[in-house]
């Protein structure tokens, strides 16, 4: 499973692979989150959350999930399904991005109250 920090427009986004243990932890966090009627925003130039690519369907998760602005969007079908991020998945991924060396990017793009530092 690959996590992409969706921030760039021209350059390829920063991305990293999750270990089986990290994938399992993420799957646990995504379990039983409530569905939402809202259509999740994709975001513009700058921070647009995270994209999980999971072609091998590791940990039983869908192949493509977007996490942004308090929403979790399962994006693998023609009509995406929306959920509310009530378990702090985005926050956890922000922390993970910072630990992987992308803290300066997040510092430049996110308001202070949303920074995982």
Partner 1 sequence: MIVTLDAYSGAPNPWWELAEKDAKQLIDRLAHRALDEPSVVDGILGYRGLIVEARSDDQLPEGMPSSFRISGPLPKEYKRPESKEAALSMNEADETARFLLNTGREHLDEGLFPFIEEATRMRAQAPAAERAVEDKEALKLATVVAPCVIHNTPYNPGFWNRPNVQPYNNCYNYSMNWRSDTFAQPGRISGHQWTAINCSNVGAAANWDGCRTTCLGSNKNVALVIAPGPGFIDYHWYRRHSQGFWGHKPGGTAARNIDNAGRLIDGVHLTPANCNRGPYTIFCGYRFSPTGMHVR
Binding site for partner 1 (CB under 8 A): 6-13, 42-46, 48, 51, 78, 104-105, 107-109
Least distance from partner 1 to the Cβ atom of residue 9, Å: 4
3-state secondary structure of 69: coil
Based on CB atoms, which residue is closest to partner 1, 29 or 74?
Answer: 74
Based on CB atoms, which residue is closest to partner 1, 19 or 78?
Answer: 78
Based on CB atoms, which residue is closest to partner 1, 31 or 107?
Answer: 107
Q: Contact at 8 Å (CB) between 3 and 96?
A: yes
How far is it, in rounded angstroms, from Cα 89 to Cα 77?
A: 21
Based on CB atoms, which residue is closest to partner 1, 30 or 49?
Answer: 49
Least distance from partner 1 to the Cβ atom of residue 67, Å: 14
How far is it, in rounded angstroms, from Cα 36 to Cα 82?
A: 5
Least distance from partner 1 to the Cβ atom of residue 105, Å: 5
Least distance from partner 1 to the Cβ atom of residue 114, Å: 15
Angle at alpha carbon of residue 31, lines to 17 and 22, rounded to 5°: 25
Of 95, 102, 81, whose CA–CA distance to 37 is shortest?
Answer: 81
CA atoms within 13 A on the CB side of 99: 7
């Amino acid at each position: 499973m690959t996590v992409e920090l969706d921030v760039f427009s021209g350059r390829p986004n920063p991305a990293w692979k999750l270990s089986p243990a990290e994938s399992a932890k993420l799957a646990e966090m995504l379990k039983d989150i409530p569905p939402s009627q809202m259509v999740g925003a994709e975001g513009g130039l700058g921070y647009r959350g995270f994209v999980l690519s999971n072609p091998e369907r590791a940990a039983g998760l869908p192949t493509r999930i977007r996490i942004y602005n308090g929403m979790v969007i399962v994006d693998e079908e023609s009509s995406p399904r929306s959920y509310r991020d009530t378990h702090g998945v985005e926050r956890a991924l922000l922390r993970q991005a910072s630990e992987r060396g992308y803290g300066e990017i997040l510092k430049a793009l996110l308001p202070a109250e949303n920074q995982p530092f």
